[in-house]
Amino acid sequence: MTNEKKKDISLAALILAGGKSSRLGNHQNKAYLKLKGRYLIEIVREKLAQIVHNKIIIVGSPEEYSAYLEVVPDIFPQQGPLGGIFSGLKASPSFYNLVVGCDMPFLETNLLSYMIQNIDNYDIIIPCYGKGLIEPLCAVYSKDCLKVIERNLLRKIYAVRKIFPTLRVKYITEEEIKKYDPEFHSFFNINYPGDLKRAEKIYQNKKEDKKSIEK
């Protein structure tokens, strides 16, 4: 990595919205599920806009997301998150990119900002907690990841963790995460019908907590 790249901490955000979830039934598009009357993807975009302003790219079908200006198709469709990360990094104008899923309505912007502050000379900044649990769809990736990601995709190695050995990885620890998101709600996503009901409960609790603080 050149010195110029090391100093460049401007970044874009990538929202992975590349597929439908069979676990939800009827192959629904998670991005267009609603939480309290709002599409999940809109909630996520609003959160990211607080950090990267308008530098937001959606990785998914241009037909399904025609309402948005910055949409790029998945170069490796149906190859999981790693394929989406590759496609987004390839298309992005920024060297560093914050990658999230389209179904993560409780992203804590303070946690995301903290991760960005820790970019330094790393290729990946990723939360890690519990017994080695990582969050590849709430992480920062540099374009220096492209070569190893493409190599693994061509070899049909799809686990994000498998790209780590040849890259510089900064782990955001459980203790660091708890300073900004003690309940780990940033990593909550929608996979099953019951998850949407859980999301509604979390949303209501957060709303009540906010009201309590403001009193």
Tell me, what CATH number does 193's domain have? 3.90.550.10
State residue 177's pLDDT score: 98
Residue 143 has a pLDDT of 97
The two three-digit tokens of residue 209, written as one number: 């907590």
In tens, the pLDDT along 54-103 reads: 899 999 999 999 999 899 999 988 889 999 999 999 999 999 999 999 99
β-sheet bridge partners, residue 57: 14
Q: Domain limits at 51? A: 3-214
The tally of domains found in the chain comes to 1
What are the b/e assignments for 44-56, b being 16+ CB within 10 Å? Answer: bbebbeebbeebb
Regions of the chain where pLDDT drops below 70: 1-9, 19-27, 207-215
Q: Which residues contact 205 (CB under 8 A, 6 or more apart)?
A: none
